[in-house]
Amino acid sequence: MKYKHLFGPVPSRRLGLSLGIDPIPYKTCSFDCVYCECGATTNLTAARKEYIPVDEIISELDSFLSNNPTLDYITFSGSGEPTLNIGIGRIISFLKKKFPQYKIAVLTNSSLFSDPEVRKELLLADVIMPSLDAVSESIFQKINRPVKGIRAVDVIQGLISFREEFPGKIWLEIFIIPDINDTDEEIEKLYAVLRKINPDLIQLNSLDRPGTENWVVPADEEILIKIKNRFTDLPIVTISNYQKRETVKSYNFKIEDAILATISRRPCTADDLSEILDIHLAELNKYLDALHEKDMIEAVKRPRGLFFRAKV
Ligand code: SF4
């Protein structure tokens, strides 16, 4: 069976062997983050709908999991905001009822947490990985570029309410952009808010490879360590604390070779590669990250987008 809405299992640095579920069409999101690896948001919306028929997703999961594969997590992610699919709660309930042996993770930008219905639909998950990059409204707008009507203050209050209701683990991610959200003032604001949200883990992340906007650059390790030291009484790690992607069991060197062979012939965008190699964009991005980390590829900005080529 060819799966349209599942991908992987992918080698995730944080989740190990992770089967991806993408319940949203490319690239539908309530944010248009400047660092997004999936490219610019083409459908900027906060409207919840059954973007992908839930019955189709459930039938694919039923087929894939009936072979009892070894997995560390089943993860809602992909190329947009998964909580925009109004059926996410139904899919989680199905998994917990029929395949309770698997743990469920949800990657989310937290934008819809002010909606009690969204919070309720996520209650059965094991791990929620929300992001929060800024407390100040102007910085939030600059980094996340949300759809009109979404404000930092509501996102934060939604996260605080979710913490009170959710019995599972919350691993919150902060994406640091030098000179934007790493100022002393913003770090102090983040610290105060994080104490209220009380996540089980805080993950500091920074740019792995070029994102949507040219001006976004990676944060030096010293910046991340400085922030980590300010948050010493909070459970905080930097992404470098995690294992390298190619050491995760599911890392598929054949995919790496296929990417290199393709971009050695001609530079391609991530979209091109996803289509040529028939690999989901979110899965492909994991391999581009690993190849970039090993300094085997480089990205060049062109009018049609970011092109990857092999380094010789
Ligand atoms: S929330 Fe995620 S998918 Fe949406 S624009 Fe930001 S990084 Fe991309």
CA distance 219 to 247: 24
Please report the pLDDT score of residue 145 as a whole number: 97
Percent of the chain with pLDDT over 70: 96
Could you give the number of structural domains in the chain?
Answer: 2
If asked whether residues 183 and 300 sit together in one domain, one would say no
Nearest of 149, 80, 151, 158 to residue 118 by alpha carbon = 158
Residue 300 domain-assigned? Answer: yes
If asked whether residues 199 and 262 sit together in one domain, one would say no
Please report the pLDDT score of residue 164 as a whole number: 97
If asked whether residues 290 and 240 sit together in one domain, one would say no
If asked whether residues 166 and 288 sit together in one domain, one would say no
Which residue is associated with the tokens 């605080």?
Answer: 160
If asked whether residues 307 and 205 sit together in one domain, one would say no
Residue 280 domain-assigned? Answer: yes
Q: Supply the mean pLDDT for the chain.
A: 91
Of 226, 244, 262, the one marking the end of a domain is 244
Q: Measured from the CA of 38, which atom of ligand 1 is nearest? A: 8
Which tokens hold the place of 177?
């952009």
If asked whether residues 213 and 257 sit together in one domain, one would say no
If asked whether residues 267 and 285 sit together in one domain, one would say yes
Residue 150 domain-assigned? Answer: yes
pTM over 0.75: yes
Residues lining ligand 1, CB < 6 A?
29, 31-33, 36, 38, 41, 80-81, 109
CA dihedral sign, ordered 236, 238, 240, 244: positive
* Four-CA torsion 203, 204, 210, 215, nearest 10 degrees: 140
CA distance 301 to 210: 9
Q: What is the DSSP string of the chain?
A: ---SSEEEEEEETTTEEEEEE--S-TTEES---TT-TT-S-SEE----B-SS-HHHHHHHHHHHHTT----SEEEE-SSS-GGGBTTHHHHHHHHHHH-TTS-EEEEE-STTTTSHHHHHHTTT-SEEEEB---SSHHHHHHHH-PPTT--HHHHHHHHHHHHHH--SEEEEEEE--TTTT-SHHHHHHHHHHHHHH--SEEEEE--SS--S-TT--PPPHHHHHHHHHHTTTS-EEEGGGSPPGGGSTT--HHHHHHHHHHHHHS-B-HHHHHHHHT--HHHHHHHHHHHHHTT-EEEEEETTEEEEEE--
Of 209, 244, 279, the one marking the end of a domain is 244
CA distance 33 to 51: 21
CATH code of the domain in which 282 resides: 1.10.10.10
If asked whether residues 221 and 270 sit together in one domain, one would say no
The tens digit of pLDDT for each residue in 186-223 reads 999 999 999 999 999 999 999 877 777 778 888 988 89
CA dihedral sign, ordered 215, 220, 226, 227: positive
If asked whether residues 111 and 258 sit together in one domain, one would say no
CA distance 151 to 111: 8
Residue 1 domain-assigned? Answer: no
pLDDT band of residue 247 (cuts 50, 70, 90) is low
Residue 28 domain-assigned? Answer: yes
If asked whether residues 142 and 271 sit together in one domain, one would say no
For residue 46, the enclosing domain spans 6-244
If asked whether residues 227 and 287 sit together in one domain, one would say no
**pLDDT at residue 1 above 60?**
yes
Q: Measured from the CA of 27, which atom of ligand 1 is nearest? A: 3
Candidate of 30, 34, 41 to mutate for ligand 1, largest count of ligand atoms within 8 Å of Cβ: 41
Residue 49 domain-assigned? Answer: yes
Candidate of 24, 28, 29 to mutate for ligand 1, largest count of ligand atoms within 8 Å of Cβ: 29
CATH code of the domain in which 29 resides: 3.20.20.70
If asked whether residues 11 and 68 sit together in one domain, one would say yes
Please report the pLDDT score of residue 153 as a whole number: 98
Ligand 1: distance of its center to the CA of 81 in Å? 7
Please report the pLDDT score of residue 242 as a whole number: 60
Contact 76, 21 (CB under 8 A): yes
Of 210, 244, 278, the one marking the end of a domain is 244
